[in-house]
Amino acid sequence: MQFIRHRGTETLSFRQLDELNDLPKGSSFRVFKRHKAVLEEGRDYFYLPAEEHPQLIERLRREGLIYGSTVHLVLITRSGYKKLNATG
């Protein structure tokens, strides 16, 4: 699995998490939305708005690391992934 490095941290996109866990498209996003309250932005995930990161989002889209329909990007860190797995 190719990590996406952001602010010196290894992260994964929702597409990568869905593929890693053999889940249908959107599954990891729905888990994230349900449990967002237990996650800390900047530690467990990074939110990158499209207007601030258009080149990065486009590059990741071209590389197939995010879904083609991605507008605003959320990258999950290792700690965030562990919390999401613990909460189901």
Give the dihedral sign, CA 19/62/8/54.
negative
Task: Tell me what percent of the chain is helix, strand and coil, each rounded to the nearest 5.
Answer: 45, 20, 40
What's the pLDDT at 46? Answer: 98
What's the pLDDT at 26? Answer: 95
Residue 87 has pLDDT above 80, yes or no: no
Contact indicator for 58, 73 with CB cutoff of 8 Å: no
Residue 88 has pLDDT above 80, yes or no: no
Exposed, middle or buried, 77 (CB in 10 Å: 0-12/13-18/19+)? buried
Structural domain including 9 reads: 4-87
**Residue 16 sits in a domain of what CATH number?**
3.10.260
What DSSP string describes 20-33?
A: HTT--TTHHHHHHH
- Count of domains forming the chain: 1
Average pLDDT for the chain:
96
Express each pLDDT in 15-42 by its tens digit.
Answer: 999 999 999 999 999 999 999 999 999 9
